[in-house]
Chains A and B, each alone.
Chain A
Amino acid sequence: MSKPEISNATLQVKESLFKRYENLTVLSIFASFVAIIVVVQLISTGGSRFPTFISPINIVNILQQVAVPGIVAVSMTMVMVSGGIDLSVGMLASLVSIVVSLGISQWHLGVGPSILLGVASAVVLETIMGFIISRTRIEPFIITLGGMISFQGIALLLSNSREVVMKGELNFLTMNLLEGARDPVTGLILRVPPYVVVFFVIALIGGLLLTYTKYGRRIYAVGTNPRAAFLAGIDVRNMRLSVYMIQGLLVGIGATMLLARINTGIITLGQGLEIDTIAMVVIGGTALSGGKGNIVGTLIGVFFLGSIANAMNLLRLPSEVQFLAKGLVVIIAVSAGDVSSQISEFRGLRREQAKARNVESTAKKGGS
C-alpha cells in the first residue's frame, strides 16, 4: 500500500504548479496586466468613467491591430512546435503586398488573380526554404535569415524601391461587418472588418488541426524527438516541409489583409512582423526547442502583446516605453513557467526530505 504512494509523490515533483493547464501561467499574468491597467485608469479618473481600456471600442481596436500578426502567429506556432523558426515572415509579407499591389495597379491582372499571385508566391518561397531546411542539416534560423534578406531584395527590385499606391481596390476586406453598431460606453461606431473574422477562423482551424488531427500530432512528435518520430514511421522531412508551406499560405493571406488596411504596397509594411509574431508565440508558451505549445496559448500571447501598445497610449505614456514593456513581458511570461516549475520542484524536494526524516526517526525508535 505504501509503495504506490511514494511513486505518486515522486511523480508530482517534476510537474509544474499548473500541471494540467499549460496556459494558466501566462493567462494569469495577462489577467493581472489587464487588472492593473483598469485600476490605474479608475484611480486617475476617480472612478467617474468606465475604464476605456476594456470598453468594446478599444477591444475592437486591439482586435484590428492584432488580426494580421495573429494570423501569422498561428502558422508560426506550427513551425516552432515542429522545432523550426521563421525569421522571413516580415519581409515576405512586404513582398506579397508589393506583388499584389503591382498586380492590381500596374500589371492590371484584376483583384482576384493578383491576390492569388501574391499568396502563391509566398507559398512557393516558403516551400523553397522548407525544402532546404528539411533536406539539409542547416539551422532554420540561418535559412530563413537568408530568406528574409533575399525577399527584401526581390521586393525592392519589383517595386524599384518605391511604394505602390492602389485606389482602394481591396476595400471590401476592410468594410464594417457590424454596420450601425455603436459602443454603449462611448457612443462611437464599432468597426469589425472581415479580416478580424478571418483571424478567428484561422486560429480555430489551426487549433483543431494541432490538437485533433494526425497531422497535428505528428508535428508535436517531430518537434519533441525527430529520431523517435522517424523510427515511429513519421516522414519527418515532409512534415518539416509542410509547416513552412502553411506558413507561406498564412503570410500570404495576412499580407493581403495588411495591404487592404494601408492601401499601399511598401517595403516597410511587414517590418518587425517576425519579431512580433515570434514574441507572441513564445509568450504563449511555445518552446524554441520544439514539441511544446498550443494555439490557445498563442492567442493569449497575441492579445497580450497587442494590448501593450494600446494600454501605453491610453495611459499617455511615451510610445518609446512600449518597446521596453513588450520586452519585459516576453521575459516575464517565459520565465514565469520555468519559475513555477522550479518552485514546485523545490517543494517536492522538501516533501521528500520531510518524508525521509520521518522514516529515519521511526526506524530509530523501532531500533532502540
Chain B
Amino acid sequence: MDEILRLSHISKTFPGVRALQDISFDLKRGEVHCLCGENGAGKSTLIKILSGAIQPDEGGQIVFNGNEVSLTPRSALSMGIHTIYQEHIVFNALNITENIFAGSEIARRGLMQRKEMRRQTENILKYLKSDLTPDTRVSDLTSGQQKIVEIAKALVFKSNVIILDEPTASFSSSEIATVLNIVKTVKADGIGVIYISHHLDEVFEIGDRATVLRDGSVVSMYPVAGLSKTTLIKDMVGRDPSTFYKRERVKRGEVILEVRNVTGNGARNVSFQLHRGEVLGFAGMVGSGRSELMEVLFGSAPLVYGEIVINGSAVKQSSPKSAIQNKMCFITESRQTSGLFLPKTIAENIAVANMVNTRQFVMRPADDLLTGEKFVRLLNIKAPSARTRVVNLSGGNQQKVVLGKWFNTGGEIYIFDEPSLGIDVGSKQEIYKVMVDLLKERKAILMVSSDMPEVISMSDRVIVFKQGQIAGELTGEEITEENILTLSIGDRQE
C-alpha cells in the first residue's frame, strides 16, 4: 500500500479559536482511515481543509501523490478528493443520473448526452451492487439511498480519496450495512477512504487505522487490529476539569415534570422526572434525537404515545401555545431561525410569547417598551435601548433577548437546546449565571448540549441519549466525559 495523501504540521486558527494545532495525518491507497473524536474535536475543520473549503494557516504541508499541493475546492476535486458531508447535498426534484452529473454534465456542442450519462450511472450503481435505477427521482429515496447516490457521484469522477463525514448518522441498521459494504468495495479498488463516525463499532468493522483528535490536536494513531474501545474512548476524553465553569448548586425540590413512555418525532419510549431546582442535562451525539424529543415535550411535534405530567397532572401539549400556558419555555438551538424576529425590536421580541397569557386585546407599544427596558437591564443586554432591532445585536445578546422573551412568560420549566451555541465566552458565563438564578427561583431546566464541558459543569443529572432512546443516566460523580462517551458511542442498539 502506498501513500496517497499526507498532512504535516497543519494548523488552523479562527478569530479567537485554535481549531487545529499541528496536525499530521496520512492516508494510503486502499485503506480506511477513521477519524475519532468528540463533537468539536476538530474533525470537521480537518475535512474542510482536505476538501479545500478552508485554507490552513501558514507553515503546514499537504502532499498528494508525492507532490506538495495547496487545496482549493476546485483543485481538490481535480485531484479526485471527494468529500461527502453529513448533510445530503442532493437536488430532490432531479433523478439519480441528473444528480450525479449536476454541474458537470456531459455535453457535445451544448447538447446534453443523456444516454451516455445514464449508461455511466447504471455502471456505477451496478458496481456498487445497488438495486437503484438511474431514473429514480432522488426525493423518492431514503436517506441511506441518497448517501449511495453521493458516493456514486464521487466514483463517476474517478476518485482517489473519498471522505465520508458521518455517513450513517440517523440510518437504520440495514442501511448502515449497505453503506459499510460500499466502503469495503471502494477500498478494495485502491481508493483511500477517510471515515468519520460516532459509532465506534463501525470503526472496528471497516477501519484499518484510527486517529483520535481532541481539542484540535492529534492524540494518538492506532492500527485498528488489536485495538480496544476503551483505549479509543480514553484518548477521546481527558479535558482538564479545572477549566470548566464552576456552578453554584441549589437544593433540589419536588418533581415538576414527569415524562412517561414518550414516543414520537424519532424519540422512543422516553421516561424521566425533572425536579425543581435542578438541571437535567441531555448528552449524546449530534443527531441522537434530543432536540426532536424536546419538540415533542413542547408540543411543536406530535406526541405519538406516552404521557407528560406537569405538577402532578397529565397535560395535553397539542401546540406550543398549550405548552406556554403550562409554563414551559423552549430556548431553541437556532435562535435566528426559530427564536427571534430579527428585523423587529428587542421590545417586540420580548413581548411576543407572553401574548398567550394575556387576555387584553389592546397592546400599547409604550408598555412593551417598558417591559423591554426592564429585561435589557435585568439581563444586561448590550444595546442602546429596547427599540434596537435584534438583527443588530451580537450572538450573545440575541440569546439574552430569547431568554427575556421566555422569562416574560413567567415559565417554570425551561428547555435549553444548546444554550451557548455560537456565543462568546463572556456571554456564555452570563447565561450560565442566569440559569443558576432560575434554579434559585425554584424553576427547573432541561438542557440539551453537545458541548461536553457545558454538560458536565451545568448538569445535576445527565441523561445520555442515543438513537432516540435513553442510553443511560448519570448522577453526581458519575458525570464524567468518559462515562458519557461510553454510553453515547458504545455498542449500537438495534
Contact = CB atoms under 8 A, between A and B. Distances in A.
A214 B358 contact: yes
B392 A11 contact: yes
Contact of B300 (A7, A231, A291, A292): A231
Nearest to B409: A233
Nearest to A235: B321
A234 B384 contact: no
B344 A231 contact: no
A214 B340 contact: no
A228 B343 CA distance: 13
A225 B337 CA distance: 7
Contact of A231 (B330, B364, B365): B330
Contact of B320 (A13, A14, A231): A231
Interface in A1-17: 4, 7-8, 10-11, 13-15
Interface in A185-243: 211-218, 220-221, 224-225, 227-235
A368 B426 CA distance: 33
B462 to A, nearest CB: 25
Size band of the interface chain A makes with B: 20 to 34
A228 B341 contact: yes
A158 B94 CA distance: 44
For the residues of A in contact with B, the DSSP-based class is helix
Nearest to A19: B389
Contacts of A8: 384
Interface stretch (B2-10, B130-138, B347-355, B372-380): B347-355
A19 to B, nearest CB: 9
A224 B362 contact: no
B353 A232 contact: yes
Contacts of B39: none
Given A217-B352, A221-B341, A224-B341, A11 B384 contact: yes
A212 B343 CA distance: 19
Interface in B286-300: 298, 300
B121 interface: no
Interface string A226-267: 011111111100000000000000000000000000000000
Contacts of B300: 230-231
A224 B344 contact: yes
B320 A230 contact: yes
Contacts of A211: 365
B337 A233 contact: no
Interface string B320-340: 110111000010100001111
A21 to B, nearest CB: 13
Contact of A291 (B341, B358, B362, B365): B341
Contact of B340 (A10, A11, A212, A228): A228
Given A233-B319, A235-B321, A214 B337 contact: no
A234 B343 contact: no
Interface string B379-396: 000111000110110000
B340 A292 contact: no
Contacts of A213: 361-363
B343 A291 contact: yes
B406 to A, nearest CB: 9
Contact of A228 (B338, B355, B361): B338
Contacts of A4: 382
A225 B363 contact: no
Contacts of B319: 230, 233, 235
B363 A212 contact: yes
B242 interface: no
Contacts of A7: 382
A215 B342 CA distance: 20
A214 B344 contact: no
B485 to A, nearest CB: 31
B323 to A, nearest CB: 8
Contacts of B388: 11
Given A227-B338, A233-B321, A217 B355 contact: yes
Nearest to B337: A227
Contacts of B384: 8, 11
B332 A231 contact: yes
A217 B364 CA distance: 10
A145 B392 CA distance: 37
B361 A225 contact: no
Interface string A49-85: 0000000000000000000000000000000000000
Interface in B251-303: 298, 300
Contact of A215 (B332, B338, B361): B361
Contact of A214 (B348, B360, B405): B360
A56 B434 CA distance: 62
A221 B332 CA distance: 17
B226 to A, nearest CB: 50
B189 to A, nearest CB: 43
B395 to A, nearest CB: 13
A217 B363 contact: yes
A8 B394 CA distance: 12
A64 B342 CA distance: 39
A211 B367 CA distance: 13
A339 B184 CA distance: 57
Interface string A149-176: 0000000000000000000000000000
A15 B385 CA distance: 14
A8 B392 CA distance: 10
A228 B321 contact: no
B315 interface: no
A292 B361 contact: no
Contacts of B383: 11
Given A4-B382, A15-B392, A234-B355, A225 B340 contact: yes
B2 to A, nearest CB: 50
B348 A225 contact: no
Given A213-B361, A228-B339, 10 more contacts: A214-B358, A214-B360, A217-B348, A217-B355, A224-B343, A227-B338, A230-B319, A231-B339, A232-B353, A235-B319
11 contacts: A11-B388, A11-B392, A14-B392, A214-B355, A215-B361, A216-B363, A221-B341, A221-B344, A224-B342, A227-B338, A235-B321
